Amino acid sequence: MTGNKVNYAKRTESIIEENTRKSLVPSLLLQVCCAPCSSHCLEYLREYFRVTVFYYNPNITDEAEFTKRKEEEIRLIGELNRQVEMQDFTGMHSTGQAHRIEIMPCPHDAQKYEEAVRGLEQCPEGGDRCTVCFRLRLRETARAAAEGGFDYFTTTLTISPLKNADRLNTIGEAAGREFGVEFLPSDFKKKDGYKRSVELSGMFGLYRQDYCGCRFSKEESIRRKAGEGNSTCSSLAAY
C-alpha cells in the first residue's frame, strides 16, 4: 500500500465536478473526529454536499474528553450554520453556496473500541491498532450512511498529516462495498487543507487536544511531554 501515488484529493474534486455538472447536491455522512480536524473539511464540503456530521469515536475512551470534543463540534456547527442563515461568509472560503450542516446522534461505544483492539495494546501509534480503530469507525459510518439513505460517506481523518491516506481510503472503500454505499475518497490535508484547519481553529477559538483519542495515545502524549518516546500517529500532536 505504501508508495501508492493515488491523488485522493483529485478524486474528490472529480466527483464534485461531476455532481456540479449534473446540478446535484448529494447528501454526505461525515465521520468527524474533532472540531479542529472538521473545520476545513466542513468549510470545503458544505459548498457541494448536504453534510450530516457523525461524531462516532468509541476510541475516545475517556468520557469527559469524548463529551468535550463533541460539544466543541456542536458549537462549530452552530457557528457555521449561523453564517448560512445570515449569508455572511466573512473570513471564510466560500462561493456563497454553502448549505446547512446537520448532526446525527450516535452512541459512545467505548467498550466496542476496547474489544476491537484487545491484544493490540502494545502496538505503537500508526500501527495495527490504528488500522483496527479506523475500520471500526468507518464501518459504523458506512452502516449508518446506508441505513440513512445517504449518497456518500467519508471521514475527516485524512486531514491529519500523520495519518495514512492510502490506508484510510482503502478501508473506506471496503466499508462502502460491504454496506452498499459510496465512499467519498479524500485527502483533506492537501491543497493546504491542514494549514487551513489550523487557521480556522484559531478563528473559532476551538479546543485543540494534544493527543489522538485513545488512552494509549494519551499515555504516549504524556510520555512525549516528559521527554520520552515518540509519536507517529497523534493527529493533533502537531497542532
Chain residues that interact with ligand SF4, rule: CB under 6 A: 59, 125, 129-130, 133, 212-214, 216-217, 233
Please say which residue, 125 or 182, places its beta carbon nearer to ligand SF4.
Answer: 125
DSSP state of 124: P
**Alpha carbon distance 63, 128 (integer Å):** 24
**Alpha carbon distance 101, 113 (integer Å):** 27
Give the residues across from 214 on adjacent strands: none
User: What is the nearest approach in angstroms of ligand SF4 to the Cβ of residue 16?
Assistant: 27
Which residues, other chains included, contact 61 with Cβ-Cβ below 8 Å and sequence gap of 6+?
110, 113, 114, 213, 214, 215
CB atoms closer than 10 angstroms to residue 81? 16
Please say which residue, 156 or 217, places its beta carbon nearer to ligand SF4.
Answer: 217
**Alpha carbon distance 104, 125 (integer Å):** 29
Please say which residue, 73 or 125, places its beta carbon nearer to ligand SF4.
Answer: 125
Q: How far is CA 183 from CA 112, 146, 150, in A?
A: 23, 11, 10
Please say which residue, 100 or 208, places its beta carbon nearer to ligand SF4.
Answer: 208
Please say which residue, 12 or 155, places its beta carbon nearer to ligand SF4.
Answer: 155
H helix runs in the chain, sequence order = 8-21, 35-45, 63-86, 110-116, 128-148, 165-179, 193-204, 215-225
